[in-house]
Amino acid sequence: MHPPLSLIFFFLTAGTSIGSFIFSYFIIFLTLFGQGQGLPDEVVLKLGILQLVLIGLGAFGASFHLGHKLRAWKAIKRFRTSWLSREAVFSGAYGFTLLVFLVLYYFQANPLLIHTFGVLTFILGILSGFSTAMIYASNQFVLEWSSSITVIYYLLMYLMLGSSLMLYFNHLYNLPYLGTFLFLTFLFLALAFGFRIAFNVRQFYLRRPTLNEALNLPHNRPVRVVDIGSTTDNYCTEEFYYRKGKELLSTVIPLAYLLTFVIPLFLVLYSWITGIGNHWIYGITFLLIVTGSALERWCFFVEGNHVQNLFYGLYPEEGYKLRKGYMERKETKISLY
């Protein structure tokens, strides 16, 4: 699939915003039960403004993926059946409740009101991330994406982005949670790394549909592509297959792994073991994760193979090989009546 830069941008901004809010509000929420020291008002407001700006930029950037931007409001009409519609609704609601939460917090309104909107924002952020992940996981035409692994590691990367930003803020403002976020950043980096590897390993075991299955023909009548039916590139061959990206994939995937997971894991582990940490280490860790995540998203899209590519000779080779079992006993009948 052709990687849309606007959606990659949305992932980075929304993921950082939602991930960091989950942690920052959870710290504030624990103070209701006398646990922890909470966060200084200055940190809550500065983080909140950054989170609000990020989700706003993400929504603006994602709009470039729309063919008719003025019709974006119609996305909410399919809420009951479309994960894309749910993503739009939950993301917009998350941004709105976050704004209300910050206004109430700034004016020191009734704590019940503040935490009501805090909990709402917390839940809507999770629902937004889950809905975005399900857009890909529920797409059965791209077998690489259609898995629960996609959802799990997608959400883990949100938490990874959020915890690494919180790690930087903890050092910047000398907060008492530095050790906690060193551990959480390491944990989510390691888990996301493991699930990303599982995502790649799974691709070697995919049972891909064949041309015979796509045409509803039995396997005793082999079908092969003779002519793709188009002498020039068209929307299907350009948007559903990114030739240049496929050529670069073997280079970009290791680079994405290195920048997103390996080097940040080493930096976090080094700081955790030695007790040496400064704004350069934590700042570089966060920037590496953001840069690597952008490359990882690029790879994620390029790795996807839409089944329509079977008819253009652009699908993985195993999709053109006959196999026994499925539709083996189906008979083809030709009749004039």
Averages of pLDDT over runs of 10 residues in the chain (337 residues) are 90 96 95 88 94 93 72 75 91 96 94 95 96 93 92 96 95 92 96 96 88 76 74 81 90 95 96 89 95 96 91 82 59 53
One-letter-per-residue 3-state SS of the chain? CCCCHHHHHHHHHHHHHHHHHHHHHHHHHHHHHCCCCCCCHHHHHHHHHHHHHHHHHHHHHHHHHCCCHHHHHHHHHHCCCCHHHHHHHHHHHHHHHHHHHHHHHHCCCCHHHHHHHHHHHHHHHHHHHHHHHHHHHCCCCECCCCCHHHHHHHHHHHHHHHHHHHHHHHHHCCCCCHHHHHHHHHHHHHHHHHHHHHHHHHHHHCCCCCHHHHCCCCCCCCCCCCCCCCCCCCHHHHHCCCHHHHHHHHHHHHHHHHHHHHHHHHHHHHHHHHCCCCHHHHHHHHHHHHHHHHHHHHHHHHHCCEHHHHHHCCCCHHHHCCCCCCCCCCCCCCCCC
User: What are 186's two structure tokens?
Assistant: 């390491």
Residue 64: its pLDDT value, please?
A: 74
Listed as own residue / partner, the contacts of 245-254 with beta carbons closer than 8 Å and 24 or more positions apart are 245/2, 245/3, 245/298, 245/301, 245/302, 246/302, 248/302, 249/299, 249/302, 249/303, 252/295, 252/298, 252/299, 252/302, 253/200, 253/299
Residue 238: its pLDDT value, please?
A: 85
* 4 φ/ψ sector (left φ>0, alpha ψ -120 to 50, else beta): beta
Tokens 């083809």 belong to 332
| Residues facing 142 on adjacent strands | 306
Residue 330: its pLDDT value, please?
A: 53
Exposure string of 30-48, with b = 16+ CB inside 10 Å and e = fewer, is: eeeeeeeebbeeebbeebb
Which residue type, as a one-letter code, is found at position 314?
Answer: L
Record the pTM. Answer: 0.90
